[in-house]
């Protein structure tokens, strides 16, 4: 699955652009965060991407085909959309609401098979909402409805999942369930795009991010190059610091907003730090199946890798890897970020002053 937006522009009122010349690509396995201040146009952007609003200029294509030309049944078999939960519109039970997600496959008037009912129950159990299934959607809270709508979108088994602020309205636990669900689905090959008001969520989970500024300017790229202190200040008018919280087995990025500042300037990719440094990335994989993804990521940095070693461990199923590489600081930060957003992988990067000698070995 490949979604491409080329030179997308949109305005509700002529002369007041909401989106201007926006470009981005999303592929199977990507988890992409869209950030921007209130009213910047994030929901509008999602609606344009899916063809629910018509671009004034530019286009969205799905697997090479203009989205407006894809028959709607075919489109909604590939794409699921979770809008912001603004209250239930029908007094379905949560079970029926989730089951509705299957209609793109089974048709509106068909009786669901046991396999569809089983899927609904499994999705509800995975999201911790099985106790809600017999409740009416008009009689549950906004956060509970949000979880039901996400389960409904998943019931369609989409290739592209688009979510509008899926974690808003939710308590800490449910936010994590939603983030874990999106991460798991992206790791299984789905493409997830989500609007969010939490830069932390983008830093902790998304491979790429897009920031939409008021007035229609946008910037897209690797999260570590996009969600920066400078861009947060320019897009949101907030001085923030991005730090790290270190636990014994993981380092987590953390954004702390400090004060309101004038909102000026255009967001920019973090200028690549040209200086070459030597770094060692130590990884502990608690699930051996993550090795394939790590190998795939490392392949893209092959030129820079000086040494790769798989260390012995007594713990069954655990893999410990040390990779030493020489590259620009921004490349090392980007690779570290791509690894740290993988579930079941603990990572620590140590930057050395001097390059180390080139030792040949391989992960096997």
Ligand X SMILES: Nc1ncnc2c1ncn2[C@@H]1O[C@H](COP(=O)(O)OP(=O)(O)OP(=O)(O)O)[C@@H](O)[C@H]1O
Q: Which residues bind ligand X (CB under 6 A)?
A: 12, 18, 36, 38-44
Minimum CB–partner distance for residue 141 and ligand X (Å): 20
Minimum CB–partner distance for residue 341 and ligand X (Å): 23
- CA 225, 229, 233, 238 torsion: positive or negative? positive
Q: Give the whole-angstrom CA distance, residue 202 versus residue 196.
A: 8
Pick between residue 12 and residue 296 the one whose CB is nearest to ligand X: 12
Q: Residue 112 to residues 61, 74, 158: CA-CA distances in angstroms?
A: 32, 20, 18
Pick between residue 196 and residue 330 the one whose CB is nearest to ligand X: 196
Q: Residue 26 to residues 146, 181, 188, 214, 302: CA-CA distances in angstroms?
A: 24, 18, 15, 23, 24
Q: Residue 163 to residues 134, 166, 259: CA-CA distances in angstroms?
A: 24, 6, 29
Minimum CB–partner distance for residue 196 and ligand X (Å): 9
Pick between residue 95 and residue 165 the one whose CB is nearest to ligand X: 165
Minimum CB–partner distance for residue 176 and ligand X (Å): 22
Pick between residue 44 and residue 80 the one whose CB is nearest to ligand X: 44
Phi-psi region of 188 (alpha: psi -120 to 50; beta: other; left: phi over 0): alpha
Minimum CB–partner distance for residue 195 and ligand X (Å): 6
Minimum CB–partner distance for residue 37 and ligand X (Å): 7
Which tokens sit at 105? Answer: 């496959």
Pick between residue 18 and residue 123 the one whose CB is nearest to ligand X: 18
Pick between residue 194 and residue 294 the one whose CB is nearest to ligand X: 194
Which tokens sit at 232? Answer: 């947060």
Scanning the chain, the segments in alpha helix (DSSP H) are: 42-49, 72-78, 94-100, 103-106, 114-126, 142-155, 172-187, 199-205, 223-226, 229-236, 290-299, 329-340
Minimum CB–partner distance for residue 235 and ligand X (Å): 11
- Pick from 191, 179, 166: nearest CA to 63: 191
- Pick from 230, 193, 232, 191: nearest CA to 211: 232
Pick between residue 40 and residue 327 the one whose CB is nearest to ligand X: 40
């Amino acid at each position: 699955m490949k979604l491409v937006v080329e030179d997308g522009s949109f305005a509700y009122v002529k002369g007041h652009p909401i989106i201007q010349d926006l470009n981005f690509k999303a592929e199977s396995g990507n988890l992409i965060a869209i950030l921007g201040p209130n009213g910047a146009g994030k929901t509008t952007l999602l609606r344009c991407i899916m063809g629910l609003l018509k671009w004034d200029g530019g286009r969205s294509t799905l697997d090479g085909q203009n989205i407006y030309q894809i028959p709607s049944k075919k489109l909604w078999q590939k794409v699921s959309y979770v809008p912001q939960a603004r209250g239930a519109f029908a007094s379905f039970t949560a079970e029926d609401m989730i089951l509705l997600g299957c209609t793109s496959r089974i048709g509106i008037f068909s009786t669901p098979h046991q396999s569809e009912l089983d899927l609904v129950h499994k999705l509800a159990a995975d999201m911790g909402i099985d106790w809600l299934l017999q409740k009416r959607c008009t009689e549950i809270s906004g956060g509970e409805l949000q979880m039901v709508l996400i389960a409904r979108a998943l019931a369609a088994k989409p290739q592209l999942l688009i979510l509008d602020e899926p974690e808003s309205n939710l308590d800490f636990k449910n936010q994590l369930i939603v983030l874990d669900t999106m991460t798991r689905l992206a790791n299984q090959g789905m493409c997830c795009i989500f609007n969010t008001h939490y830069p932390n969520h983008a830093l902790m989970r998304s491979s790429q991010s897009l920031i939409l500024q008021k007035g229609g300017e946008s910037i897209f790229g690797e999260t570590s190059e996009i969600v920066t202190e400078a861009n947060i200040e320019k897009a949101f008018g907030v001085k923030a610091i991005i730090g790290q919280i270190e636990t014994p087995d993981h380092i987590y990025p953390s954004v702390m907003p400090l004060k309101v500042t004038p909102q000026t300037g255009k967001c920019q990719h973090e200028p690549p730090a040209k200086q070459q440094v030597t770094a060692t990335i130590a990884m502990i994989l608690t699930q051996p199946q993550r090795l394939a993804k790590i190998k795939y990521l490392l392949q893209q940095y092959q030129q820079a890798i000086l040494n790769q070693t798989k260390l012995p461990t007594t713990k069954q199923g655990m893999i410990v890897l040390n990779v030493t590489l020489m590259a620009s600081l921004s490349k090392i930060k980007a690779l570290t970020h791509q690894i740290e957003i993988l579930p079941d992988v603990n990572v620590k990067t140590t930057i050395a002053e001097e390059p180390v000698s080139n030792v040949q070995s391989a992960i096997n």
